[in-house]
Amino acid sequence: MKSAKVLLTAAVVGGFGMMATAQTLVYDNSSNDQVIRFNPGGAEVGDEIILAPGPERMISQFRFQYWGQNFSGDEQIRVRFYANDAYYASHNAFIAPGTILFDSGPFSIVETARQTIVLDYATLLAGNGGNPVIVPDSFTWSIQFLNVDPNAGESAGLDVYSPPTVGNSYTSYWENDPLNPGWLLKTNQWGIPMDFAAQVQAVVPEPNVLALGLGGGLLFLLMRGRRSLR
């Protein structure tokens, strides 16, 4: 991602330190710019991604791009990771975003033509109650822009890149509209793959960290196979 970087900082909660293991790039969608800008408005939108094969499933760094225009100064963004374990009636399958694996909470953003935000390891810990963010092979990361007022000429959104060079991504995207809550699976009407610019670095969790990170039933998510009908 050839743009400025914003490094978010957060206190390391719970005493976890960074693993003494080389980070592995398990997902990379930052090379094939489609020169398409997606404005989701106030809806939360998610991209379900598939990580490259391997044991590295503890996220150590997450990067994504956004753009914003005509900001007044109070604009914010919120990032979440979800396991796709919720029932989706139209497909009769457990494929919708469900269990929250990470929640950054709202944080401020600035007006920019294009900027990369980096969620470092400490930030990831803080957004998961001090626990490492351990994900299954496929999960959804989502974005929601806050305090962006279209009536005042403000706008913000994501850059569309496709295809990924490491890992994979479904061409559809998830939308959760606050005016009509509930996840909907959507596609672009012109057939454009709706893959958002992002990179995921991960490490192999040590056994004691894995045990702590799986205390909430995540082991079930990692071990079970998920059938996708898309």
* 103-131 pLDDT per residue, tens: 999 999 999 999 999 999 999 999 999 99
pLDDT digits (tens, 9 = 90+) for 36-62: 999 999 999 999 999 999 999 999 999
Mean pLDDT value across the chain: 85
Q: What is the pLDDT of residue 69?
A: 97
Mean predicted confidence (pLDDT) in 152-168: 97
Express as a percent the part of the chain with pLDDT over 90. Answer: 74
Mean predicted confidence (pLDDT) in 124-142: 97
> CA separation (Å) from 43 to 62, 115, 142, 157, 181?
21, 20, 10, 11, 9
Mean predicted confidence (pLDDT) in 185-204: 92
> Where do the structural domains in the chain lie, given as residue ranges?
4-8+22-223
The pLDDT-based confidence of 207 (bands split at 50, 70, 90) is: confident
Instruction: Give the per-residue SS3 of the chain.
Output: CCCEEEECCCCCCCCCCCCCCCCEEEEEECCCEEEEEECCCCCEEEEEEECCCCCCCEEEEEEEEEEEECCCCCCEEEEEEECCCEEEHHHCEEEECCCEEEECCCEECCCEEEEEEEECHHHHHHCCCCCCCECCCEEEEEEEEECCCHHHCCEEEEEEECCCCECEECCCEEEEECCEEEEEEECCCCCCCCCECEEEEEECCCHHHHHHHCCCCHHHHHHCCCCCCC
Mean predicted confidence (pLDDT) in 18-45: 89
Instruction: State yes or no: pLDDT of 33 exceeds 70.
Output: yes
The pLDDT-based confidence of 12 (bands split at 50, 70, 90) is: very low
